[in-house]
Structure 1
Amino acid sequence: MSEQPENTPHTAPVPAPAPDSAGEREQHDEQRAQQRVVRLGSQRFAPGEGPLPDPAGSHYERRIRSFQPRRSRVTAGQAEAMLKRWPDWGLDIDGKRVLDLDEMFGGLPVVLEIGFGMGEATAQMAAADPGTGILAVDVHTPGQGNLLGLADRNGLTNVRVANGDAIILLREMLPPESLAGCRVYFPDPWPKSRHHKRRLIQPDFLTLLAPRLAKGGLLHCATDWEPYAEQMLEVLTAHPDFENSQADGGYAPRPGFRPLTRFEGQGLDKGHVVHDLLFHRR
């Protein structure tokens, strides 16, 4: 390293000039927003700005979970949507309060959607049926941000995004008969035999869900994993609180309100068969 000449003064870094035009100000604001997004790339949002990593903490017993959080990085657009809309349209499942769905959705009937991926299908259903509120639950931060962005850009005020464990939401935070329906589309099939106990559609889950559904409320499941479809049909048929909408006791045709997603289309191209199950609470 060369030495600095003795007669060279030490000078402080020259600060960047303040933007003096609308275009420069816009660019300056965008750069600051990008810096904030980079900081949020670790998915650590300040309380109230976005979802917490583990909202329920250690308040509840440790048990086998049907989901596994995916830790992929949020994009700039997803982070900005989160910062903009989470305070009004997002909630953490902490199990510490009972939700007033009438207040949250302005009196609309509410459907619970468990696991929404990146939210494209949820946004399509919300746009097609603005008279129904959708309480969409997932633990995937990029998907949460993506759905909030879709809802914001398309003016979908009937969507709320919940972060955390749907079991805690059902058990601790939803009043009896507060849901018009529940949707479980393409849940993790946990294909290995030793993991079947992690599948969501089990007798205990149905027993927990049933009292939260209004009488006649619809549980709609869909999967492209044949063994899981068979288990779903067996478990739902045997449960005393649910009744198959199909007279023959089998699978239902895909209803028009469930969009054909890109993921599903890829599966169909590979020869996968998608099964829909529509059961009503007795």
Structure 2
Amino acid sequence: MNVLIESVAVLGLGGMGGGMARALLHAGLTVTVFNRSAEKAQPLVRDGARLARSAGDAGAKAGLLVLSLADEESVEELLFGEVLPWLQPGTIVVDTTTVSPLYARDAAARLDAVGVERLEACVVGNPDMASAGQLRIFTAGRKSTLDTAEPVLSVLAQEIRYLGGAGRASALKLALNLLLGIQTVGLAEAADFADAAGLGRELLLDVVLSSGWRSPVLAYRAEFMRRRVYQPAGFRTTLMHKDLDLAMRQAQDYRIELPLVRQAARRFETAIERGRGAEDAAAVMEVAAQA
């Protein structure tokens, strides 16, 4: 492996970030971790990760920095506000945060201006897949940057695909997540309809998951709905709503309408208002039941 990327830093240790850090550790890489809530780092430290004193300290000696943050504001605050002055020229920033294509292109240009390379990474999967190194990763940016980073990414992924210039992976991620949001709301409403008809959500979920309607994505959300337990979250309701909002704002630039996305976003917004923002997005099922 290229000596520059034997040392990897991971900033943001939620379900996906923590899972990716764990996969990197299991592969024998030197991994430095940082999270604003330090307690999330402790299991990784026990597994051999180095805990950074600050976000800047995490990136200072890393050849490759993985970002797994909540939103554009977090990237702006952590990467550009704290970490960037610490990064050495040639450092690769693999940003898995879901952001708009416009922000992705802007971030790439700003990093490029100071000699730091940005690789946009759309990660598809869940925290268990991240820990097992079974994600699918769709990348954008310079192909040469991917070529350098690929030995590290291969630890995390069963598939790595290059899509082209900056912004393209972000556009794909928003397209996938808007589909996820619509499907999750659709499954919740179907289960709610079955409940109202006296069939019960369990019957509906069993039929869906043993028929042509089954998919790994729906099966993952359906298990939360079946158990009526929505933590620990695979994908928080707040993040789902954020991504649907990003997709709608981007659609305005494309001059297209997304009416189903708008309706799904309203349902997730209601879930957040009812205190379910930190729960898995499947908790929208309980909002449907209360409506």
The TM-score with structure 2 as length reference comes to: 0.36
Greater percentage in helix: 2
The TM-score with structure 1 as length reference comes to: 0.37
